[in-house]
Amino acid sequence: MDTHAYPGRGLSLSQLIFALNEELKRVAYSPISTLDAVSQLDRDASIALATIREWRNSFVRFNRIPADILSLIATNLSSQADRFHAASVSRRWRGVLLNRGTLWSQLFLIKGEEYASTLLGRAKGSLLDIITHQDAPLGTTSLILPHAQQIRYLEFIGNPWQDVVTFSEANSGQLPLLRTLKIIDPDLYRSRFPQDIVTAASPPLFRGSVDLEEFVIRSGRFSSLSCFLFPNLTTFEISSGQENRCSASHLLDFLKGSPTLQTVDVKILIAIEPRSVPQETIVVLPNVKTFSLHVADSYVKRIYDVAACISCPVAKSTSLTHDTYEYHMSPRMEVLTTPVLWNTILHQYTASPIEGVKLEMNYSEDKAIYCYLAFRSSDTTVVDLDFEVASTRLDEADLHMTRTEMWWMVFGQALKTIQYRPLLSHVKRLHIENRAALWGADEMLCAAEQVPILFSLLGPLDELTISGCDLHMFIDAFMDCPRLRNSKPIVFPHIETLVILYPLIEIDETECLEAIVELAKLQHSLGIPFGCVKIRLWTLFPAGMAGELGRWVNAVDCGEEDDV
């Protein structure tokens, strides 16, 4: 059909279609029609029909979505597969979505070369998020290299370390837009470091990534840290394996070389080399807001030695966690840091006095013992100290001490840890929680001996909370049948509010509550009465007991529901 001679200008669409149909008939029945002419008409008709269908589809509601809204919808789809499906909804959707390069900028190289090539074409000049894998076809990496300066996010999953080194060297380290680097060893519990990169790389790997903000590494040994230097890092996370001892000095050197850090999360699942902890060295991290150090080591004290080498003066949240196994526990173990060292650490991680202390003992299916100490300063800074003992399911005969002895030893040492006068001088709120089963006096004695010492060091308290505890540790001297040896009345400091929540009571509740009344009477006689006593029990409060208690305190709040 001669489109230039066709008199279709100014006609309506229906008239044009009628004319096209007549032209088809004329050519079809013309004795001089050629195969080429008929083929051309077929193509013209197909184009016209496609145009009509596209025009008709434009009236469908989902095709009337504005392009900017459509792009926003695709951006919030949960997976890349959903974006591929969205691009197949209609020609308009496909045209809009394929023109937005940022929708296709995340590449999983394990999906192969054709996939990677397609997405690189769609992404155009957008910043790239590259996730490579040990099983990715070899050719995919070569496709990425010409686009290296577009890479914003780079993650290696299970790649041999030589792949990491090769990628770094292929780009001469020049990744100016790289902001996140993650290296995930496929076997976190076995070192896969080739011997030639155990020591510091020269030059360092990814040395051109001077503006890297987030670095995550999960691998077998800390030795890899000596291969990296990122002066403008803000987030650092590292997890080690269990096969070799790690060097604390390598960790400290890396932290020292990243003074802009704001978040630090270190998990050491292997023992710390004793000689690697430098003496009288403090690495100051002036911008860190969140600091976490988790160490699994049979020798507990080293986590505190490492923590004492670091100072985060503006941190709002600090967590020091040590875990071990039941078979490592022995009667002579020092499972928590000494008060002097702990006080030193607190000064390096808080800028304001400690006003609140919480001690919690609990357990779970995989943890035979979970001890949690939390210190909150007046500016809401929180420092947590966690000690966890993993359950081994061994028979107690195979352990150095019974689980009961372990529990009370840890609880007693936790009480001792907070007994340091400079720390306690500003404490206004103390919370003690111990979800222990009821055991005999011998097991409890090591903890009970620390209670009167602790309270003798405390100043006036706004609130003391005793939750889930065996009350013998606190009021045994007032019982008709004391269970602890040499029980003497504990003199509490002035306490505005005493809260007792669901105590573990082995004896008659009435006798226990009568002992609390005697305690309140003693405090009153000493001129330091409790301002308010709140008690919650698992059962009904004995009739008349609130009135008896009210004679010696300013206010009494007794009930069954946990509304405190």
Is residue 562, in this structure, part of any structural domain at all? Answer: yes
Is residue 253, in this structure, part of any structural domain at all? Answer: no
Token code pair at residue 116: 């990677």
Is residue 101, in this structure, part of any structural domain at all? Answer: no
| Bridge partner list, 27 | none
- Average pLDDT of the chain to the nearest whole number: 80
Same domain assignment for residues 418 and 470: no
Is residue 529, in this structure, part of any structural domain at all? Answer: yes
Same domain assignment for residues 475 and 381: no
Is residue 109, in this structure, part of any structural domain at all? Answer: no
What's residue 179's pLDDT?
A: 95
Q: Which of 223, 176, 186, 185 is nearest to 201 (CA)?
A: 223
Is residue 519, in this structure, part of any structural domain at all? Answer: yes
Same domain assignment for residues 409 and 326: yes
Same domain assignment for residues 403 and 483: no
Could you read off the pLDDT of 96-140 as tens digits, one per residue? 666 776 777 889 998 888 888 888 888 888 899 999 988 888 788
Q: Which of 93, 90, 92, 126 is nearest to 107 (CA)?
A: 126
Band of pLDDT at residue 2, cut at 50, 70 and 90: very low
Same domain assignment for residues 374 and 465: no
Number of domains the chain is built from: 3
Query: What's the Rg (C-alpha) of the chain?
Result: 36
Residues 488 and 452 sit within 8 Å (Cβ to Cβ): yes
Task: Considering only residues 71 and 354, tell me which one the structure prediction assigns the higher pLDDT.
Answer: 354
Question: What pTM does this model have?
Answer: 0.80
On the question of a cis peptide bond just before residue 203, with omega within 30 degrees of 0, the verdict is yes
Same domain assignment for residues 395 and 465: no
Is residue 541, in this structure, part of any structural domain at all? Answer: yes
CA distance 200 to 203: 8
Same domain assignment for residues 564 and 496: yes
CA distance 375 to 247: 29
Same domain assignment for residues 470 and 400: no
What's residue 290's pLDDT?
A: 96
Amino acid identity of 408? W
Neighbours of 98 (CB within 10 A): 14
CA distance 551 to 516: 12
Token code pair at residue 96: 């809009």
Q: Residue 371: which domain range?
A: 322-425
Mean predicted confidence (pLDDT) in 461-483: 85
Token code pair at residue 419: 């007994």
Is residue 44, in this structure, part of any structural domain at all? Answer: yes
What's residue 362's pLDDT?
A: 87
Could you read off the pLDDT of 41-64 as tens digits, one per residue? 677 777 766 666 665 555 555 555
